[in-house]
Amino acid sequence: MTLQLDGLSCDLGGTRILQKVSGLRAQPGEITALIGPNGAGKSTLLRTIAGIEHGQGALSLDGASLASQSLEARSRALYYLPQDTSSSAVLSVFEAVLLARRLRIAEARDAALVAVASALDSLELTPLAERELAALSGGQRQRVAIAQAIVRQPRLLMLDEPTSALDLHHQLQVLDYLQRFAQREQSILVIAIHDLNLAARFADHLWVLKEGRSVTSGSPGEVLTPERLRDVYAIEAHVEWPTGEPPRVTPLSALRSLGDS
């Protein structure tokens, strides 16, 4: 199973956000981290793959074109977790995760309940199962949203900054769990993320986007160089390569305004 995209473009409000993005060849069981500065088009790219935004270009999963598939058909194979997961819905955590499962898989009630309980347990959400969404902190809500994503067992899971509201413990816990989930389910994971050190630690590949264009992709060691960081983020950074570990990035100074292109 592979995800392939070629020449993917997307316009929003008359502005071209994605400009013929190509190059992603994501494999099952692997995590690809999508990195780049604000406004690079990371969220738009994930939404276009999910079918939430309309795009042009070639997009296929397992060799089957996604472009002609309806939103419902796409959602059976893939899932997009948005960055903003806030909700005032008067639903318990258990109900919200069950909802995500029932909209994806038709099965006996007990099987669905077991799947939900397992997902909650995996993300340390069991104590919150009866709490209402509106009563959760941002980080707890984000973990519930991740539980909603994994309970659907997607072949392709795209997460838009899934750790942005999490404390350090839960950042590591969630990314560690997602890594095991990708390997166990042989799913493709694409994660848009700002923290380069987390990206280097958990992702098999990094894919760099800037101003709606694909800049480069490769292993963390290949991509995270001081020159590349200067070019993409306009920063001076020190990059260490400890033996047997992923590279470590220490930002030193901002060089010039990046703007919000």
Partner 1 sequence: MIESLKATTAPRIAHPGGSTIDRYLRRQRRQRWLVVAMALATLLSLVTDVATGPGAYSLGDVVKALTMPGEVSRVLEVIVWDIRLPVALMAVVVGASLAVAGAEMQTLLNNPLADPFTLGISSAASFGAALAIVLGFGILPVAGTLLVTANAFVLAMIASLAIWALGRLRGVNIQTMVLMGIAIMFFFNALLGVLQYVASAESLQQLVFWSLGSLGKADWEKVGLATLALGVTLPLFFRAQWRLTALRLGDVQAKAMGIDVGKLRLRMLLCCALLAATAVAFVGTIGFVGLVGPHIARLLVGEDQRVFLPMSALTGALILSLTSILSKVLIPGILLPIGILTALIGLPFFVSLILRSRREIWG
Sequence-distant (6+) residues with CB within 8 A of 185 are: 153
Q: Minimal distance in Å, beta carbon 214 to partner 1? A: 23
Residue 179: closest CA among 162, 202, 145: 202
**Residues touching partner 1: how many (CB under 8 A)?**
50
- Among the residue ranges 2-10, 117-125, 218-226, 246-254, the one whose residues contact partner 1 (CB under 8 A): 117-125
Residues in the chain: 261
Is residue 82 within the footprint of partner 1 (CB under 8 A)?
yes
Among 15, 68, 70, 243, binds partner 1 (CB under 8 A): 70
Among 49, 66, 98, 249, binds partner 1 (CB under 8 A): 98
Q: Which is nearer to partner 1, 73 or 254 (CB)?
A: 73
Q: Minimal distance in Å, beta carbon 218 to partner 1? A: 29
Q: What would the two tokens of residue 27 be?
A: 């494999």
Rounded to an integer, what is the distance from CA 218 to the centroid of its chain? 17
C-beta separation of 30 from 189 below 8 A: yes
Q: Minimal distance in Å, beta carbon 10 to partner 1? A: 15
Among 8, 17, 21, 50, binds partner 1 (CB under 8 A): 50
Give the pairing of strands 213-218 and 235-240.
unpaired
Q: Minimal distance in Å, beta carbon 241 to partner 1? A: 37
Which neighbouring-strand residues pair with 34? 192, 207
Q: CA 29 to CA 37: how far, in whole Å?
A: 26
**One character per residue 123-162, x = contact with partner 1 (rule: CB under 8 A):** ---x--xx-x-xx---------x--x---x----------
Is residue 81 within the footprint of partner 1 (CB under 8 A)?
yes
Torsion 60-16-34-88 (CA) sign: negative
C-beta separation of 78 from 61 below 8 A: yes
Q: What are the Cα distances from residue 175, in Å, to 155, 169, 184?
A: 17, 10, 14
Is residue 117 within the footprint of partner 1 (CB under 8 A)?
yes
Q: Which is nearer to partner 1, 68 or 70 (CB)?
A: 70
Question: Residue 170 carries which side chain, given as an amino acid letter?
Answer: H
Is residue 104 within the footprint of partner 1 (CB under 8 A)?
yes
Q: Which residues bind partner 1 (CB under 8 A)?
A: 47, 50-52, 70-76, 79-82, 84-92, 94-96, 98-100, 102-104, 110, 113-114, 116-118, 120-121, 126, 129-130, 132, 134-135, 145, 148, 152
